[in-house]
Structure 1
Amino acid sequence: MMAFNHTLPDGYRLSDDGSHAVFTQPIEASMNDDRGYKLIRLPNEMEVLLVHDPSTDKSAAAMDVYVGNLTDPDNLQGLAHFLEHLLFMGTAKYPQENGYKEYLARHAGSSNASTFLDNTAFHFEVGHEHLEGALDRFSQFFVSPAFSENCKDREIRAVDSEFKRNLNFDSRRLFVLGKHLCSRDHPYWHFSTGNLVTLEENPAKEGLDVRAELIAFYHKYYSSNIMKLVILGRDSLDQLTEWAVEKFSSVRNLAISPPAYPKSPWTSKELLTTVYMKPIQDTRSLEIKFPFVDETPHYRVKPSNYISHLLGHKGKGSILSLLKRLGWANGLAMATMPAGIGHQFLKMTVDLTKEGLYHHEDVTVIVFQYIKLMRESGVQDYIWDEMVSLAALAYRFKEKSKAAVYVRAVSRQMQHVDLPQFYLSGPELIQERDDKLVTDCIGGLRVDNWRGLIMTQDTAVIPGGNFTEAEGWYGIEYHVANTSPELSQRLENIDLHPDLHLPIPNVFIPRNFETDRPPGDTPLPPTNHPNLIQNTPLVRLWHKKDDTFWVPKANIYIQLNSPIVYASPLNAIKTRLVRDLLDDVLLEVLYGAKLAGLVYNLKTTPEGLLIVVSGYHDKADLLIEKVIRALKEFSATNDLERFSRIKERVERQYRNMDKVHPLEHAEYYLKYLVKETMWSYLEELEELRSITAEDCDTFIKDVLERLFIEGLIHGNISQDQALVIYRTVQDVLAPRNLSNTEKALMKRARILPEGCQAVYPRINADPDNVNSGIHYYLQVGAFSSYKEDPAQKETRALVMVMAQILQEPCFNQLRTKEQLGYVVKSGVREEAGILGVTVSIQSERDPIYLEHRIETLLRERIQLMLNAMTDDDLRRQIESAAVKKLETSKNLGEESTKYWAAIRSGFYDFDQTQADVDEMRRVSLDTLRRFFTERIHPDSNQIKKLSVHIRPEKLPSPTNGNEILSASSEPTQDGMKKKDEVIRLRDGTVLVTNEVEFKANLGLSKAPFPVVDLLRYSKL
């Protein structure tokens, strides 16, 4: 047993056996939190928060190490990130490089890790019975990692692939450029991801051994005293304590402090400049950024919350309200950005219109006018009290999240909270008021203490008319100019704006929190489905009074079904326009509700318009009535400036779809090919240009004239209250009902014929994107009436078991070993009751080569795996899949989502998950092998394959459309070797050149219909 050789901090006492110290004060948890907590300190000074959750399906753990990419050596940028990758490639105790991930995959688990500026976070989740085995493997990464030489080159390429995946993300490019344009006296400027150049080519030129440097970095900074560990499980706190002490006490303690850098990332050189940045997508924005106080020591006050609340407000009198009225902005957002210990930024981002772009200096003036208003107004009691009250409400009724998400968040929080009793509550509550601190922070938002950044493709707005420089890693084009003398003069002599004022008191703050929970510790078992409480030709309403979570919240779905909303591309884009216009109108009116924890969402669906209201139930009826009345009274012609602004924004969003990542395109076009009716974004864009405000007004009146309304009310709302809410919806809209024929759901899917070997190739619409994408889809069958057909029940189960078996070898072979790309995934796709198995890859490689490697994996590795599989192996795989499917909802929102999915599907099968698991558990090894041979194996004549290939413009075109020359590393028994080989799509492959004709020649599935008589659920 290790001995304590350091003085215990306040609040700790030594355990009876001396193996650890226990924090004696209670951890301040939410009143809604039924978990047990215990904080211990190991002899190596590692703090461990143990969480006993008796109802969790998954156990989880997270380790946060207080060192990140700021600490990279200048000549080895990306080293901390590379360490994060290589750390999990085996240990002295568990040398198998994929043993950890394989163990987790066998037991319904998963893992991930991330490297940030000053911390590196690792976490996993696993079926609750298997926590100890996962912890033992996890702990060894911090005790005796192998840092395998054999894995080094592969993982450098994994880092490089991750870098290339991010090349065309404008959000990443903005972050990178912001770092690039900082002082070299602080490491914030580092290229944090790393790539082949920084981790292989440049070190080779300098004679550096990257693996040796990585090991030295690990031994210098991976110290137990700057690590925070959280372990969550069903096991008792005593058992969790025993495992933590046993497995993590041997992590080395170097007695170091987290690396810190006293000099600021910004000097006077960076201030009072405007950066013009060229984006990939057609976006226009203005970023105003200030150096800000590091709030870590001030977490109990959170001064940025007050400032961001006012600057980012969207109600009347706000910056955004004025900018929208002037036609200069569509949106506005506030954020804080960490910059390492002791440093932080506060930034505002304004989504500019085209006119707003040319008025960016006027926008800047308005921002500083509001700051002047804040400075002169001081800290307002009613605003501070509202913020304190709403934060307290949110924490009081905080619901659970998934185990892995929770432990990851808490381990990070522990690094930033100085008093352990506030590890949970500190980041969420406003516990103190300090007007001087807040006032000083507002005072720091000075006219001589900021930097602007304008993102635009329009060079006319740039002084000099050109982007004059390029960042080295991402190739970001930019230009830096000093703030104009005219703007500086205006800011120095700024006056208050008459249309800007502080927000009015919030009328949406809830007051009623009663849940009518029955007394006693053992309430009746919760029901597993909603009840049908109204069923007329006009309305079908489902309801469930929450009997599981007992929070004063509700989720309300109102689906306004109309056959005309998706009858053509023209109607589809009109629906989108109406949705966006209505959203823009309601934002200012209902922003107070959002702040008060009651949010609405307007969504377009092929069936119509969906209104979703979520949050505290107390004012939900008021919010719904306002939304419904706004819809009924909709008029685009009342505000033609708004119509023009929103239409232009929608057009840009559609055009920017050309710039999304190739894998997104591949998945999009697969969906396009297998859905009965789906208009492409290009078809909708073509119709958008001719639409007028009058067209939208006429259209929405036609839509609302005749409807079928279906909905779900789930939460702290009684059946009678639910009926009143829907009565209001009916009275306000006053529609006539659809005919039975019009109400029939036509969510059908296209059926691929047996023996289908189809490939749909497309050139990436973004000529600058170097990546390709493939979405490989094996359709299996139709299941719209599977409950009446035992064979289909079995086939459905076989798809799910097969997907579970594919998951780990697919990732390990195609991503880890063959390094085909950073994004490699597999799974199940369901469309209108039709299931299929999918494999997806984003890569620099040719999609024909990717298809070849996917089919080689299926033909060789998976075939061998199934041949060698025992009944016990199969049972383990099935139970892993079962644990995932049976995972209980962690909060009201997750449960509502499950119910609404069953309703929206048209099957109304609220028991489907359990039925699927029961059927999976009946799958035999012989049946699974036969299923693989007939429906999955690439050489089967029964296969139904459709593969979408997105090819970069810069790749050579394949010979005859189906043949490439591969000069690449191919896997062999001895490792990887270079090999030139002609790769062809398999014989019989059909290249889809006309997608409309291809779809027209496919059959259709049956339309979904209820699997049981809906009266079974009736409470009419």
Structure 2
Amino acid sequence: MATAQPSLPAALPRKAGELRNQLTSLIWPRKPDIDERSYCYFRLATNDLRVLLVRDPEADRAAASMSVGIGHLQDPDDRAGLAHFCEHMCFLGSEKYPDEGAYHEHIARHGGHANAFTSLEETNYAFEIGPEQLLDTLDRFAQCFLHPRFHEAAVGREVQAVDAEYRMNRQSDVHRLFQLLKALADPAHPFHKFGTGSQETLLGSDAASRESNEADLVMQQQKLREMLQRFHRQYYGADLMCLCVSFTASQTMEQMQSTIQELFGRVPRALDATPAIAYADKPLFRPDSGPQGQLLVVEPVKALREMRLMFAIPPQRCQYRSKPANCLAHLLGHEARGSLLAALKERGWATALSAGPAHEITGQAFFEVEIALTERGLHHWQCVLSMLNAYLAMVSAALGDADDPCDLPRFIYEELKTLGEIHFRYQERESSPFQAVVELSSALRLYAPDDVLAGPYLYFDRPTKQDLCNLLLIHMRPEKAITFLISKEMYQQPEDFELNSSVLRHGHEPWYDTNYVMGPLPSSAWQKRGTWNAELHLPLPNPFLPRCFTLKTPAEDDQANLAASKPLQPRCLLWDEDQGQILHHCLDTSFRQPRIQAFFQLYTDMAYASPEHALLTKLAICLIEDDLMPSAYDAELAGMSYTITPTAYGVLIGLCGFSDSFARFTEHVFCTAACAIRQVDEGSAAARELLLDAHLDRLRRAYENMALQKPYQQVLYHARVLLQVPHWHAHWDYLPLLDDQPSDKGRRFPWERVDAFRRSFFAGELASPADSSREMVVEALIHGNVTRREAETLFQRCMAILKPCKTPASGSLRAFQRRLGGHQLRIPSKLSPLALWVPLRNAAELNCGLGCYFQTGLRTLESDLFLELVVNLLQKPLFHELRTVQQLGYVVSGFVYRLHGAQGLFVVIQSAERHPPWQVAQRLERFLCDFTTAELKALSPAAFMPFLKAMLEKREERDRNLAERGARWWTEIERGTYTYDRMQQEAQYLRRVLDRAGSLELVQADAVSNTGFAQFLTRLQQFWDLDVLGRRQGGSLRVYAVPTCWAESADTSEQHPGGMAAMREQLCGLEEPALQTLVAEAVAIRAWQTRADRYPSERERDEEPALLLESENNS
């Protein structure tokens, strides 16, 4: 089908010589051998724009990203957040495309997406689109850098959007701690600035107040717009920009070079081409009153217990070829025996540790060490510091002085170099072209053009001893550390943790309302004596380092089977009803990767039969991960990974890695999971009890923190709690068990009980003769660089360890799996909308959340496509109207919500206190009515075409890597449908609809092959009217997440629906149209669930799955 080409600014150069004169010399960056993409780097001679083109013959999508070398460090002193505000405004119209929504509507109409972010010294804009629309979209993209409109009408709205984003994150500990670090910097250094911005910082406190008059507000908005225009002219220059464009085989490299020159060649240079020079050599902290050598005890929002040490170090970007800070991070962050973390865990003081360079800006960087402490570790925080100091001293001793011949063992450098080369050579494709261009456009300003692909991975040079010694002996000394202890209990009672409150002064960070105390850290805290020196040593050689990367070929008797299974998809090698074992396999080397991926789903009711069983399962997994930690970390460095995840129907074990060591590591994981722990002495037994206590404490705090999540997250969580059965709740089910104190009968979860459960679960051992044997079915997928015989051998070895079994009384394998499967509950249409009130437990949270869910019934091929098309049509106008125009909140999103074979439309909105969620719900209802008449029913067939084409292109996209393909296949196996060609079936449906788009006569037959386009539109509108809004296949749900402070009155109880309703009517006088109202509490929810009907799961459908069995192929 022919498509009109975009109107470009000028005719493209026709002569190669003419184009060469407009570009600098071309550079072809080093790339992995298996990477089929072509890369070309050049600069535009007209304006010095740096460009990296990526021609991807395997891609089905195109993308582009522009990295602008300015961030919020360039904000004017009196306009905090201006760079972020510019990011919001820049793409709201240009001179050539003046409409505010032209850019985003164009991308949405063609099934693409766009995003942007602002950081310390970078602002990045990116989009992804179908290849046919790339040139047109690039033109629109370029115009926003050339001639942005900065519409006056948008200024006020986008200030509100920035302010809503800031207020949404005020209760985020990540944002609070980062801003606190910045607040410690010298106020004369731009690192001190508040980067997000707010209504107050952008418009001024007087104009931002509610008492300000309209004239003052308009004047401040005009002033802000003028500052924005000056900011853009000063910094948005081509010589501060890096552009990356990824395109398909439909264009040549020469054509794209010409296009870039025409579209971006007239972007002017920046008025200030060196924005960082003013602070490049400026000290980050005041030498006389800086925070180095100080201790800060911070009060978090969530129940955190963390130690963070920040060392100011020289910038590391210029040393990317040798990576000395990464080398130290490798040593400090190691988790094998002899490591700092292993010694901390042995004493029950910590559960996790990470280390590495962070927050680098021009002239300055940090080396961060973050330790997740246990309650016991918090009380021994000085010993933790001393252990860290002992490890740093050990590394320093190994290096010796500058003139000393001592050095780290040679194999450490060789392993780092080898691992870097392996990961570069066999790096998997990014999940999307969008991700690729964002990463590469940012990388262009960090690495030399030759090294832009290899720079993050390779050790081109060995880290010099002098560089390592300088980091350790000059910059990472105890007196240079900024030490953060993040804990509510320590902040509230510092004396209980060996802190002298008389020398601590209280502080308050105003932007995020963060409280802390600060004082000098006594030098003795780094010098505690202990037995740990003998335990600490440098890492040993890695036993999992892969050596062989040969790609497997099928055996002769498998050649015909492989050819018969085109397109590539798994085959069922084993379906054993008696033993309860199912194995699917696919030899897949299409990505030229010597990797294997495997999933093992262990179906058993032991995992989720009760909240206590669910906690035992989680704790058993914790024990396994503890035992695996020393070896698993080495395996992870060598490209292996594993996960053990509890599910509602058992446990999922996932593994991925290089085929050379995959089988050995997989068996090691299963053996470790199943083996009985060897006899241990009293000291080791005590250490295990301490570690188990740490896991119990970590789980307890995690469940407590779930009540402190953002309102929109609370909406999604409680919607799932209400609709999914079974589903245990963090506060109703888990916390009462974890808060249960030890009694005369002993602890609820002693180590012996957890370990016995672990051995029963993963090895089939009985804790006592009175126990009944456990039933378990295992279904697995093994695919990648693995032959059929290798997969069968590995599977049988793992099953010999796991010992799955199923009794005849359980019925068939399918029946066993059905019994354990979850369901989505059906909301009665006569009682819709059902209202669920969720009181927010965070007293400081003033935002609220709304979730509206419209059930559309069971999933079918057609309903899946109809629902996705409706969401695609809805998303842009929903966002524009409710967020951009009405300013109801920062989070406004509509999406397809699928759960256990049923689905629907879900809209989630997080709003500020001035917009109560029931008011937002009414506005959403009005919008949906307007959308029905003004948008959906008014759309012409031609207007539908781009959306349908975009959906077709999405389904015709090829898998980008082995993990993506495996996840798609495993989803079908987990659902029990085994429809591996689902994308092809949906693409065929859409292709037939598009083929008939020109024929608008109605036909009588229902078959899709005879469906006229007009009938398709009619059926789509019926789906919207009857299934989405009309509740033909289900009901609707409203979830209100409301701050508890709204319900605090003498005659109102937050624990009673009537009280919440009274509170609502008192606040705004609106009547709730809900026919049934629930409050998120166990009794009410469970009572409703017992009366509700269930949708059948996909395993309960009448039809049996079409399995491609090995025996069928052989026959």
Q: Which category describes the TM-score, using the shorter chain as reference length? A: over 0.9
Match status 1:692 vs 2:740: no
Q: Which residue of 2 aligns with 1:381?
A: 410
Q: Which residue of 2 aligns with 1:977?
A: none
Q: Which residue of 2 aligns with 1:871?
A: 941
Match status 1:751 vs 2:826: yes
Q: Which residue of 1 aligns with 2:358?
A: 337
Aligned to 1:74, what secondary structure does the other structure show?
coil
**How far did 1:1003 drift?**
1.1
Q: Which residue of 2 aligns with 1:975?
A: none
Q: Which residue of 1 aligns with 2:388?
A: 367
Match status 1:470 vs 2:508: yes
Q: Note the 1:718-737 alignment, pairs <5 A.
A: 718-737=787-806
Task: Describe the shift of the 1:18–1:34 C-alpha distance in structure 2 as closer, same or farther (beyond 3 A).
Answer: closer
Aligned to 1:374, what secondary structure does the other structure show?
helix
Give distance in 2, aligned partners of 1:711 and 1:217.
57
Aligned to 1:729, what secondary structure does the other structure show?
helix
Task: Describe the shift of the 1:989–1:863 C-alpha distance in structure 2 as closer, same or farther (beyond 3 A).
Answer: farther
Give distance in 2, aligned partners of 1:987 and 1:742.
39
**How far did 1:203 drift?**
7.7
Q: Report if aligned partners of 1:265, 1:339 keep a CA contact under 8 Å in 2.
A: no
Give distance in 1, aligned partners of 2:428 and 2:798.
29
**How far did 1:14 drift?**
9.7
Q: Which residue of 1 aligns with 2:1025?
A: 933
Task: Kindly provide the amino acid, as one letter, of the partner of residue 690 in structure 2.
Answer: E
**How far did 1:941 drift?**
7.7
Q: Which residue of 2 aligns with 1:566?
A: 608
Q: Report if aligned partners of 2:308, 2:368 keep a CA contact under 8 Å in 1.
A: yes
Candidates 830, 840, 848, aligned match of 1:764: 840
Q: Which residue of 1 aligns with 2:706?
A: 657
**How far did 1:827 drift?**
1.0
Q: Which residue of 1 aligns with 2:3?
A: none
**How far did 1:212 drift?**
0.9
Candidates 721, 728, 740, aligned match of 1:672: 721
Match status 1:412 vs 2:503: no
Match status 1:557 vs 2:560: no
Q: Give the gaps of 5 or more residues in structure 2.
A: 1-7, 209-215, 400-407, 556-561, 741-747, 765-774, 994-1012
Aligned to 1:852, what secondary structure does the other structure show?
helix
Q: Report if aligned partners of 1:463, 1:481 keep a CA contact under 8 Å in 2.
A: no
Aligned to 1:448, what secondary structure does the other structure show?
helix
Q: Note the 1:882-893 alignment, pairs <5 A.
A: 882-893=952-963
TM superposition score normalised by structure 1: 0.92
Aligned to 1:345, what secondary structure does the other structure show?
strand
Aligned to 2:946, what secondary structure does the other structure show?
helix
Match status 1:212 vs 2:226: yes
Q: Report if aligned partners of 2:74, 2:275 keep a CA contact under 8 Å in 1.
A: no
Aligned to 1:577, what secondary structure does the other structure show?
helix
Q: Which residue of 2 aligns with 1:974?
A: none
Once the two structures are superposed, what CA deviation does each residue of 1:660-685 show, in whole Å capped at 9, x if it has no partner? 11211111111112212111112122
Q: Which residue of 1 aligns with 2:23?
A: 21
Once the two structures are superposed, what CA deviation does each residue of 1:970-993 show, in whole Å capped at 9, x if it has no partner? xxxxxxxxxx97543336465567
Q: Which residue of 1 aligns with 2:86?
A: 83
Give distance in 2, aligned partners of 1:801 and 1:730.
44
Q: Report if aligned partners of 2:581, 2:804 keep a CA contact under 8 Å in 1.
A: no
Percent of aligned positions that are identical: 27
**How far did 1:204 drift?**
4.6
Candidates 863, 866, 885, aligned match of 1:798: 866
**How far did 1:517 drift?**
6.1
Give distance in 2, aligned partners of 1:485 and 1:166.
36
Q: Give the gaps of 5 or more residues in structure 1.
A: 4-12, 787-792, 968-979
Once the two structures are superposed, what CA deviation does each residue of 1:314-334 show, in whole Å capped at 9, x if it has no partner? 111111111111221111011
Match status 1:31 vs 2:52: no
**How far did 1:160 drift?**
0.7
Candidates 460, 472, 478, aligned match of 2:493: 460
Q: Which residue of 1 aligns with 2:646?
A: 604
Candidates 184, 196, 202, aligned match of 2:205: 202
Aligned to 1:415, what secondary structure does the other structure show?
coil
Q: Which residue of 1 aligns with 2:877?
A: 809
Task: Describe the shift of the 1:634–1:806 C-alpha distance in structure 2 as closer, same or farther (beyond 3 A).
Answer: farther
Q: Report if aligned partners of 1:806, 1:862 keep a CA contact under 8 Å in 2.
A: no
Give distance in 1, aligned partners of 2:143 and 2:635.
48
**How far did 1:46 drift?**
0.3
Give distance in 1, aligned partners of 2:48 and 2:785.
45
Give distance in 1, aligned partners of 2:32 and 2:235.
34
Match status 1:232 vs 2:232: no
Task: Describe the shift of the 1:36–1:526 C-alpha distance in structure 2 as closer, same or farther (beyond 3 A).
Answer: farther
Candidates 1098, 1109, 1114, aligned match of 1:1008: 1098
Q: Report if aligned partners of 2:602, 2:778 keep a CA contact under 8 Å in 1.
A: yes
Q: Which residue of 1 aligns with 2:662?
A: 620
Q: Which residue of 2 aligns with 1:535?
A: 575
Q: Note the 1:241-640 alignment, pairs <5 A.
A: 241-254=257-270, 256-260=273-277, 261=279, 262-268=281-287, 269-378=290-399, 379-401=408-430, 402-417=432-447, 419-433=448-462, 434-443=464-473, 444-458=475-489, 459-461=492-494, 462-464=499-501, 468-487=506-525, 490=527, 497-516=533-552, 527-537=567-577, 538-635=580-677, 638=685, 639-640=688-689
Q: Report if aligned partners of 1:848, 1:964 keep a CA contact under 8 Å in 2.
A: no
Greater Cα shift, 850-859 or 501-510: 850-859
Give distance in 2, aligned partners of 1:68 and 1:337.
16
Task: Describe the shift of the 1:360–1:992 C-alpha distance in structure 2 as closer, same or farther (beyond 3 A).
Answer: closer
Aligned to 1:737, what secondary structure does the other structure show?
coil
Q: Report if aligned partners of 2:959, 2:965 keep a CA contact under 8 Å in 1.
A: yes
Task: Kindly provide the amino acid, as one letter, of the partner of residue 723 in structure 1.
Answer: E
Give distance in 1, aligned partners of 2:953 and 2:193.
42
Give distance in 2, aligned partners of 1:1017 and 1:963.
61
Once the two structures are superposed, what CA deviation does each residue of 1:824-851 show, in whole Å capped at 9, x if it has no partner? 1111111111111111111213111121
Two-structure CA RMSD over aligned residues (Å):
2.7
Task: Describe the shift of the 1:385–1:258 C-alpha distance in structure 2 as closer, same or farther (beyond 3 A).
Answer: farther
Aligned to 2:823, what secondary structure does the other structure show?
coil
Task: Describe the shift of the 1:634–1:953 C-alpha distance in structure 2 as closer, same or farther (beyond 3 A).
Answer: farther
Aligned to 2:476, what secondary structure does the other structure show?
coil
Q: Note the 1:120-159 alignment, pairs <5 A.
A: 120-159=123-162
Q: Which residue of 1 aligns with 2:968?
A: 898
Once the two structures are superposed, what CA deviation does each residue of 1:249-270 show, in whole Å capped at 9, x if it has no partner? 1101136224231212123322
Task: Kindly provide the amino acid, as one letter, of the partner of residue 30 in structure 2.
Answer: E
Once the two structures are superposed, what CA deviation does each residue of 1:354-380 show, in whole Å capped at 9, x if it has no partner? 121122121111111111111121233
Aligned to 2:605, what secondary structure does the other structure show?
coil
Once the two structures are superposed, what CA deviation does each residue of 1:750-806 show, in whole Å capped at 9, x if it has no partner? 1222343211111112222112112211101123xx4xxxxxx43333222211111
Give distance in 2, aligned partners of 1:58 and 1:634.
51
Greater Cα shift, 331-340 or 344-353: 331-340
Task: Kindly provide the amino acid, as one letter, of the partner of residue 120 in structure 2.
Answer: L
Give distance in 2, aligned partners of 1:654 and 1:121.
36
**How far did 1:548 drift?**
2.1
Q: Report if aligned partners of 1:794, 1:920 keep a CA contact under 8 Å in 2.
A: no
Give distance in 1, aligned partners of 2:920 and 2:182.
35
Aligned to 1:142, what secondary structure does the other structure show?
helix
Q: Report if aligned partners of 2:663, 2:794 keep a CA contact under 8 Å in 1.
A: yes
Task: Kindly provide the amino acid, as one letter, of the partner of residue 532 in structure 1.
Answer: C
Task: Kindly provide the amino acid, as one letter, of the partner of residue 453 in structure 1.
Answer: F
Q: Report if aligned partners of 1:226, 1:258 keep a CA contact under 8 Å in 2.
A: no
Give distance in 2, aligned partners of 1:304 and 1:1019.
55
- Please state which structure has a larger fraction of its residues in helix: 2
Instruction: State the number of aligned residues.
Output: 984
Task: Kindly provide the amino acid, as one letter, of the partner of residue 872 in structure 1.
Answer: A
Once the two structures are superposed, what CA deviation does each residue of 1:54-93 show, in whole Å capped at 9, x if it has no partner? 2212110000111111111121111111111111111111
Give distance in 1, aligned partners of 2:802 and 2:863.
45
**How far did 1:546 drift?**
1.0
